[in-house]
Structure 1
Amino acid sequence: MKLTVDKQAAAWFKEEVGIREGAGIRIKAKIYGGSPVREGFGLAIDPIEPLNPIVTYKADNGVLFFVEDTDEWFFDGHDLNITLNEHAEPHYVYLKDGVAIN
């Protein structure tokens, strides 16, 4: 699994989410959501310290993004790219073999 975050999205997370020293942004599965990879599940974020990440991404602005090993099942071999949409809100793009999954 690969995790990437563009500069604008990383800046949004730094400004909008309270991240204490030593913490990062955990990307995790949540029930009762929607995603193109798992019906009935979506993504949530949690500003917390990493414990057992399977993947990390450190943005240029110093924000650490990560997925814990307990959420690996959700991604099912998909990569995740985080950008901002036209409303300046996070947009999550799942990729399988480099191709976006809608």
Structure 2
Amino acid sequence: MNITLTDKALEWFKDEMLLKKGDFVRFYVRYGGSSPIQEGFSLGVNKEEPMEVGVSHEQDGVIYFVEERDTWYFDKYDLFVDYDEKTDGPSYEYK
């Protein structure tokens, strides 16, 4: 599994989460919501330090990651994060 973020998504995360070099952003599994790959679950995001990194991606000094215990959610998919102008927030694709 890989994590990829577009430049617009990176800008949104930096502005909204007040990110600076050395920060961590976790993508995590939430019960409820909707997802094209896992029925009954959805993806959440939070600024927090990792406990046991399963997958990570560093860009501009910020580490974006998924905990080992949440990797099942992606079921061999890569996570592609973009910015959605309509919702003024991140959009997630699973490739």
Amino acid at match of 1:44: G
RMSD value over aligned CA atoms? 1.6
Conserved? CA contact 1:22–1:49, under 8 Å: no
CA-CA distance at 1:83 after TM superposition = 0.5
Identity score, percent: 36
Task: Report SS of the residue matched to 1:92.
Answer: strand
Q: State TM-score, norm by structure 1.
A: 0.83
Structure 1: 5+ residue stretches without partners: 96-102
CA distance in 2, matches of 1:10, 1:28: 17
CA distance in 1, matches of 2:45, 2:74: 15
Size of the aligned set, in residue pairs, is 94
Task: Report SS of the residue matched to 2:12.
Answer: helix
CA distance in 1, matches of 2:19, 2:12: 12
Q: Could you give the per-residue CA deviations for residues 31-52 of structure 1, whole angstroms, max 9, x where no partner exists?
A: 1111101011000011001221
Structure 2: 5+ residue stretches without partners: none
Distance of aligned partners of 1:8 and 1:21 in 2 relative to their CA distance in 1, 3 Å threshold: closer
